Every structure is written in structure tokens, then in C-alpha cells.
Structure 1
Amino acid sequence: MNSEFTNRIMEAGVVGAGGAGFPTYVKLAAKAEYIIVNAAECEPLIRVDQELLLHHTNDILEGLTGIIQETGAKKGYVAIKAKHTEVIDCLKEQLKDSENIELFLLEDFYPAGDEQITVYEVLKRVVPKGGIPLNVGCIVCNVETILNVYNAARGKTVTTTYVTITGDVKTPATFCLPIGMSYKEALALCGIETLTGKVGIDGGPMMGKIIFDFELPITKTTKAIILLDQNSSLIENKTKGNEQVLKQSKIACIQCQKCTDLCPRDLLGHNVKPHLVMRIANYGLSDFLGMKTALGCSECGACELYACPNGLSPRKVNIMIKKELIAAGISIDKGGEQKSISEMIEYRKIPVKRLIERLGLKEYDRCAPLKSFAYNVKKVVIPLKQHIGTLAKPVVEKEMMVDEGMLIGEIENGKMGACIHASISGMITEVSNESITIEAREDRI
């Protein structure tokens, strides 16, 4: 049975504000020894965590305190890279009298923000293969999720998301945007008038998804919009089709094993072997155990965008095989023997500065300060599934008037999911199984 605290989080529609969007009320219903705020923000160019910790310091720390009390944790950690000195100074001032919240300073490497890597860095505990941080006594939440928990405890629903807009824009910035706003309209806030020849990335350059249609909406998990030329090397690499990936792999893979040597999950002892998966794909081998290592891939892209000397895509080959295994009903062997942590784990962290240069993004590594904007969004298209779990069920009808924050989609029959709320005030102009469209009232524009 949920507590009043977790009920408020559920009713507010709080999910992980990055990644897959796991419903936060489920995560916080457990008991834990430690709570870790993942402020690593290891994906290049994203600035959301830094800006939130600067401008909403007290709210975030109060939200963390509430989570510590709810889960019975004995301590909370804010895991942040040591290079963010301005943010750290601000946090230190607010935490000087705190007894159960500490800062943990991370090195500047990728993927420090992978929650299993973060857990290892902070606690020196290894989350088991196929497991979650709770298996080793901790809960990990990102910065914006903590802020949303703070707001939910005070009755505010999730109607906005913080997004860094950067890349090929004149004035990179971070904005608090209404969920359902189009990528195109968001980019216009940074002076982008034409998108001809451009492609976007929703999220970071390593794990983000490609944006081809800029009319699509942002969601609760959108943390960045990175605008790049369609002919940039990063976009060309990320948009390779499976057939091209396999053909290049068969021609150019030299079996050097660097993809496995730099695999963060393999270094943790999870037995992820992208070089074996490449070998199987290239030569049609029937190595079932080698194929199964693909199930442990976190899809971080270290093997694809950094490690491979020939610019191949071990990650995509892993994903292909992983999908086939899952479709065949084969899952990761959680009970299998855990390997020891590699002795090289401290020496194979990918330096972010070098990664940025390798990705061809050095010119875009700029500040993106938090800015406000005139809240005159005329239309939003709000997806009913922005999270892990089931689709939300619409509770509104076409031509209904709604106010910002009103419930428009609810969790059905106690299934795991997330409530959806109106992000602007206006009229419902379309209701489908996938989304709800709201057009603003004239007096609110």
C-alpha cells in the first residue's frame, strides 16, 4: 500500500526525468540504505542538472530530505563532477549543517551518469548483472526528478520539463518548457527559423534518439535538443541502417577487442562482450553464450563512438542480437556467476573532453544558462506514454476546456504507469489512443 508521500508522487505523474522514465512512486515505495542524486550529467553538452542545482538548490535538497525520510535511508549523496565548482560551492553552503546529505565528487569521465557506474563510484558496490541499485541497498534519482518530487509533495503536477537547447544554435540555453511543445517551437526560442539540412538529437549525443520530424513533441524525459548538420559525422554514424552496419562490420572488424576493453558494464564484471557478438555476426558462428552477453549491453555507445578504431558499430550489432533474443523469450541470466571487477576499471574511464573532440562537438561545448520565455505556446500534443509501463487512459473528451495541471490521462486498473496532465490551459481538440492535443485559450496567449 502506498503512503501519502508516494501517492502524491503518483498523482503528480512524476517519472525519471531522463532515460526511460521509470515511474518514481514505484521506486520510492521501497526501503533503502542510501539515496544517490545522479548529477553526473556525463553526456556532452547537456546543462540541465547544473542549472537546476544553481537555481533551485533549496527545493532539490528539501526533496532529497523527504525521500530520505520516506525510504528510511541513513544517508543521501549528491554525485556531481568536481569540475562544476560554482554549483559545488553553492551546495556546500547549503549543506554545511546537514548531517545526512553529502557531496560526492566524480571525475570527468563517460559514462559516470550510468546509474550502475554511479553506484559503484559512490558506494563501491556492484549492482548485479540484470539488477537494479536497490539490489545493493540504494535508490538513484536524477536532479530534475528530485525537484519534481519536491513539487509533487506540495500538490504540483508534472507539466513541464527542463531542456538544454544547443548544438548549431547561436545562443544555447536551458528552458523550462511545457510538455507536448514541438521541437520546432522549442528551437525557435534560440533563434532557429529554418531547419533545412538539419537533424536533431533528443538527449545526449551518445544515447539520444535522432529527431527527423521537428513537429513531434517533447516529453517528460526530454533533457536536450542538440541541433546538428545532417552531414555531420556524428549524425551519419547514428543514422546508419542495420544492413550497412553489418556489411561494414564484416569488411572492417579486425577483432582487436577494444570495444570490450572499454565496455563499462564488462569492467564492472557483467560479462558483456561486444567483440564476441561482432565475431558471431561477422562469421555466422553458433556461439549461444557469446550472443547472450548482448543482453547486458546498456547501449551507452562507448564501443561505437569512442573505442572502435575503424568506426564500426558494436552497439548496434548488440542491439540487433538483443532484440532477437528477447523476441525468442530469452532473458538475461540474473543468477549467473558474477565476474570480478576488472583491475583496469579505474584506467579505462573515457575522458569527456576527449570524447567531445572525438564526436566533433568541441565548438558546441558551451554554457547554456537557464532562461525564461514568454509562455505563449499555442498548441501542445501530449503523448499518453512517456514512461516505462502502460499507456495512460484518457479521462477527457474533445472540446472540453482544461486548465494547466489538470489530469487528462490516468493509470488504468492499478497497472504501473504514470498520470498525464495538461501542460497549458485551453481546449482539447483531439483525443487518440496515443496522445491528447490541447490548443490554448485566446486569453492565455
Structure 2
Amino acid sequence: MEIKFSDMIKEAGVVGAGGAGFPTNVKLSSKSEYIIVNAAECEPLIRVDQQLLLHYTDDFLAGLQIIADEVQASKAYIAIKAKHTEVIHQLNKKLVNYPSIEIYPLQNFYPAGDEQIIVYEVLKKVVPRGGIPLHVGCIVCNVETVINVYGATKGKSVTSTFVTITGEVNKPSTYELPIGMSFKDALALCGEENLENKVGILNGAMMGNIITDFEMPITKTTKAIILLNSKHLLIKEKSKTIEQVLKQSRIACIQCQKCTDLCPRDLLGHDVKPHKVMRIANYGLTDYSGMKTALGCSECGACELYSCPNGLSPRQVNKMIKQELRNAGVKIDNEGKEFSASQMIEYRKIPVNRLISRINLEKYDVPAPLISHNYDLKKVVIPLNQHQGAPAIRIVEQNTYVEKGQMIAKIDGDKLGANIHASIAGIVTDISSDSITIESEMEVK
């Protein structure tokens, strides 16, 4: 019996590799007029998409065509920054065989890879506030996700992910890393074994979180490890507590509205007004309607790391209020509203080069080529929840042998989630409520 496309993807454990890990079988279960591949490499310093498109061109294009056919899309766009001329040249050589796939060149601005921004750039359609691209007839996929879909059609499960390791490292590079490998082991590939006074940022300088525990495992959604000195500007900014943020805001916010002027989501017409949220927080106001503007915030960080002249953090205040509203059961209400982009959207894009300079990352803005490496890992710790939805339920017992690629945890029934597979062959030496540990057979002996 022929296996359904969505079942192949679900079986392989494919999730959105560049974002929040939404299960891909669910995303591709709908029909859509357009497919957009997000190859914008939105965050500074990350090089994964560029390397994948160069080295896995055939798999990528085959996977994209399969997806387009499955969702019955009339057109598929590869949205990539025009500056990546080598990648575009490589793609164009192959696209003669794919008449329904087209490259869409993007300007070099931040946040070009925001899902809703990229839909507007390519289709000139505004996704409703709090909505998804499907609301305007579009599905957006990440480059690595497309390649993983192609692999799933060939019976290959997701056991690794591609990660750029950069910053204060001897040799910035991009690697294909086994899921469950520790950050410490990953950094050792770049010659970084002494991590004293070093702090990492996970996935992106703008939106990423600080890493202080380097024993954390690589997951399906890990895209970058940026290693910096603990005294770097970015680390100081990201280390502020919400109490510090609010105190600084009360002292120094001058209501200049620059945070709102440059807010990418407000420029889409989503009525996101960070300066109003700052005002409410600063003066202890209880303007519920004013607070609701925070619900549309994408937390891109443009307001705190680029636009604010006093170095304040509207993003963190937005994030705090957004969580409070959610806890209170307040949801986005778009009833009776139509969304259209501001006339200023073309003139208020944040140049990436200027952003990199502003956050003091210029010396790290270097190539990070894809490096092949033969891994001899002694141990992996594989989380059971690397995706949106419910954690996977383990289906292996302790002290049993598993092969690489073998399913070790399965999503329960029709729940939202993703299957998990062994990234190395070895013995299951520990099972906890949130992870499965596998050690190589030689190590166990």
C-alpha cells in the first residue's frame, strides 16, 4: 500500500528547522497557491541556508518541487538576498528544469526573514495580525526543512541539523551536527575547549537566547551558536532582568516613538506600538486596549538593539505584557479590520551592515563554510520535545541497543508533535521524563 506524503514526513520527524519547530506534516496538509522558501538568512552571522543551497542544490530543488506538487501550488519562490550571487548562480543553472520555481531577490535588510515580512516582500500581501501565511494563500518553508522533506520521501529520518558556529572561535564554520550532541562538543570542533568567560547566543544575535550551560544538546531547531566574551555588548543587553529593563525605561524613555517608527510589524499595518507599551509600563497605567498592541509583537529586537537612542528594551517590555495578556486569556481580535502596509515600509528597512555595526559584531561577519566531519560521539542526550506540540513518548527501553535512524520516541496518536529518532547507534543508558540518553556501544563496554 502506498504511504501518504504527510505520513512519510510525520514518520521521519520533520519539523520547521529554522523557526519554532512546527510539525511539517501539518503545515503541508493544506492546499496553497504559493510556496515561499525562506532563504533570507534573517539573523546576522548565520550561514546555513547559503551553504545548503550550494552543496545540496539537487536535493533542495527536488524537495521543493515535491512540496509544490503536493499542495498544488502554481508557483514556488526562493526568497534569497540578492547579495548571494554565487548561490543564485548555482540555483539558476538548475532551475531550467523547474519552470514553476523562481528566485525572488531580497534587499539586505532586517528582518527580511520574518515570515510575515517575507510574504509581503514576495507577494505584496499582508498576513493578518496573529495570522499565518496560509490566510493569504501561501505556505512558507525553511531551506533545511525542504531538504528534510526530500529525505523523508527516500525513507530518511531527521537525525541531524546544520549549525553555524561563529563569533569568538578559531575557525567559524557550518557543520551537520547529530541531534543530542552537546554544545560543548560542537564548539570543540572549532577548537574552542576553554569556555571560561565565554557566553553563547543560541540561533541569532537579535532574537536568540543566552547559553551558559554548554552541556545543552543540539536539537532539530538549532541553527547557530554565536560564542562571545561575557562582557560583549550583546551579552550585557540580553542579561538584563525585566526589573532592570523597567527601571531604565522609567528613567530614560523620552517617548520619541522611534521604536514604533521602525517596528517591522507596525509597518505591515499590524498596529504594534512599542512606545505606547513603554508609556503604560513606565507610568503604571491600566490601559488594557493600549496593552493589546503588544500581542502583535514578533520580538525581532529591532526596537531594543537598533532604534532606541537610549538603549532601552521595548521588546522585553512587550514580551512581558504579551505574556500577562495571554495568562489573562486576552487574544488578538481582528474583527472588522483590514490590514495594509504603511507607505513608509520601503523606506524604513534596517540595513543589515549597519545593524551589525550597531551591535558590535563587525569582526565576526565572516564566511562560515560547510565542513565535513566524521563524528565519533560517545554520548547524545536527545530531548523528547524539540517541536511545537506535545512531547514524543519514548518507545525504547533502557539498556537496549538502537541503530542510528531508529525511532526512539513517537507522537501520541493525532496530537500535534513530531517523532524522534536516534542520532547515533548505541545503548540506551538513561531515560528521563524529557530526554533519552544513548551511549556508543564501545563507550558502554
Q: Is the 8 A contact 1:129 1:338 kept in 2?
A: no
Q: Is the 8 A contact 1:253 1:310 kept in 2?
A: yes
RMSD value over aligned CA atoms?
1.3
Q: How far off its partner does 1:19 sit?
A: 1.6
Structure 1 residues 34 and 322, CA, compared in 2 at 3 Å: closer, same or farther?
Answer: same
Match in the other structure for 1:222:
222
What amino acid is the match of 2:89? D
C-alpha separation between the residues in 2 aligned to 1:341 and 1:117?
Answer: 10
Q: Is the 8 A contact 2:427 2:444 kept in 1?
A: no
What amino acid is the match of 2:40? A
Match in the other structure for 2:168:
168
Secondary structure (helix, strand or coil) at the match of 1:409 reads: strand
CA deviation profile, 1:368-418 (whole Å, cap 9, x unmatched): 000011210111000000110001001011101000000011011310100
Match in the other structure for 2:400:
400
Structure 1 residues 250 and 439, CA, compared in 2 at 3 Å: closer, same or farther?
Answer: same
Q: How far off its partner does 1:96 sit?
A: 2.2
Q: How far off its partner does 1:42 sit?
A: 1.6
Match in the other structure for 2:425:
425
Match in the other structure for 1:232:
232
C-alpha separation between the residues in 2 aligned to 1:350 and 1:193?
Answer: 36
**1:344-383 maps to which residues of 2 (within 5 A)?**
344-383=344-383
C-alpha separation between the residues in 2 aligned to 1:305 and 1:286?
Answer: 27
What amino acid is the match of 2:94? Q
**Structure 1 residues without counterparts, runs of 5 or longer:** none
Match in the other structure for 1:301:
301
Match in the other structure for 1:83:
83
Structure 1 residues 290 and 20, CA, compared in 2 at 3 Å: closer, same or farther?
Answer: same
C-alpha separation between the residues in 2 aligned to 1:364 and 1:164?
Answer: 12
Secondary structure (helix, strand or coil) at the match of 1:370 reads: coil
CA deviation profile, 1:325-378 (whole Å, cap 9, x unmatched): 001111111325234311110001000000000010000000000001121011
Match in the other structure for 2:157:
157
What amino acid is the match of 1:410? K
CA deviation profile, 1:173-198 (whole Å, cap 9, x unmatched): 00000000000000000000100000
C-alpha separation between the residues in 2 aligned to 1:179 and 1:271?
Answer: 39
Match in the other structure for 1:67:
67
C-alpha separation between the residues in 2 aligned to 1:60 and 1:97?
Answer: 13
CA deviation profile, 1:36-60 (whole Å, cap 9, x unmatched): 0100002000000000000000100
Q: Is the 8 A contact 1:183 1:216 kept in 2?
A: yes
Q: Is the 8 A contact 1:20 1:388 kept in 2?
A: yes
Query: What TM-score comes out, normalization by structure 1 length?
Result: 0.98
C-alpha separation between the residues in 2 aligned to 1:376 and 1:442?
Answer: 11
C-alpha separation between the residues in 2 aligned to 1:226 and 1:336?
Answer: 44
Q: How far off its partner does 1:224 sit?
A: 0.4
CA deviation profile, 1:216-237 (whole Å, cap 9, x unmatched): 1010000000000011011100
Q: How far off its partner does 1:98 sit?
A: 2.4
C-alpha separation between the residues in 1 aligned to 2:28 and 2:155?
Answer: 17
C-alpha separation between the residues in 2 aligned to 1:384 and 1:363?
Answer: 37
Structure 1 residues 357 and 430, CA, compared in 2 at 3 Å: closer, same or farther?
Answer: same
Secondary structure (helix, strand or coil) at the match of 1:429 reads: strand
Q: Is the 8 A contact 1:42 1:352 kept in 2?
A: no
Match in the other structure for 2:147:
147
C-alpha separation between the residues in 1 aligned to 2:51 and 2:101?
Answer: 20
Match in the other structure for 1:99:
99
Secondary structure (helix, strand or coil) at the match of 2:309 reads: coil
Secondary structure (helix, strand or coil) at the match of 1:199 reads: strand
Match in the other structure for 2:22:
22
C-alpha separation between the residues in 1 aligned to 2:331 and 2:205?
Answer: 28
More divergent stretch after superposition (75-84 vs 334-343): 334-343
Q: Is the 8 A contact 2:128 2:339 kept in 1?
A: no
**Structure 2 residues without counterparts, runs of 5 or longer:** none
Secondary structure (helix, strand or coil) at the match of 1:382 reads: strand
Match in the other structure for 1:205:
205
C-alpha separation between the residues in 2 aligned to 1:223 and 1:414?
Answer: 28
Secondary structure (helix, strand or coil) at the match of 1:371 reads: coil
Matched, 1:53 2:53: yes
C-alpha separation between the residues in 1 aligned to 2:3 and 2:357?
Answer: 48
Q: Is the 8 A contact 1:277 1:318 kept in 2?
A: yes
C-alpha separation between the residues in 1 aligned to 2:434 and 2:131?
Answer: 30
Q: Is the 8 A contact 1:425 1:444 kept in 2?
A: no
**1:244-393 maps to which residues of 2 (within 5 A)?**
244-335=244-335, 337-393=337-393
Q: How far off its partner does 1:291 sit?
A: 0.1
C-alpha separation between the residues in 1 aligned to 2:44 and 2:23?
Answer: 26
Query: What TM-score comes out, normalization by structure 2 length?
Result: 0.98
Q: How many equivalent pairs are there?
A: 444
Q: Is the 8 A contact 2:269 2:341 kept in 1?
A: yes
What amino acid is the match of 2:360? G
CA deviation profile, 1:92-116 (whole Å, cap 9, x unmatched): 0000242100000000000000010
C-alpha separation between the residues in 2 aligned to 1:359 and 1:142?
Answer: 26
Q: Is the 8 A contact 2:384 2:409 kept in 1?
A: yes
Q: How far off its partner does 1:285 sit?
A: 1.3
C-alpha separation between the residues in 2 aligned to 1:375 and 1:59?
Answer: 23
CA deviation profile, 1:247-295 (whole Å, cap 9, x unmatched): 0000000000000000000000001110000000000112111100101
Secondary structure (helix, strand or coil) at the match of 1:424 reads: coil
Structure 1 residues 288 and 66, CA, compared in 2 at 3 Å: closer, same or farther?
Answer: same
C-alpha separation between the residues in 1 aligned to 2:291 and 2:336?
Answer: 15
C-alpha separation between the residues in 1 aligned to 2:154 and 2:137?
Answer: 28
Secondary structure (helix, strand or coil) at the match of 1:164 reads: strand
Match in the other structure for 2:441:
441
Secondary structure (helix, strand or coil) at the match of 1:139 reads: strand
What amino acid is the match of 1:252? A
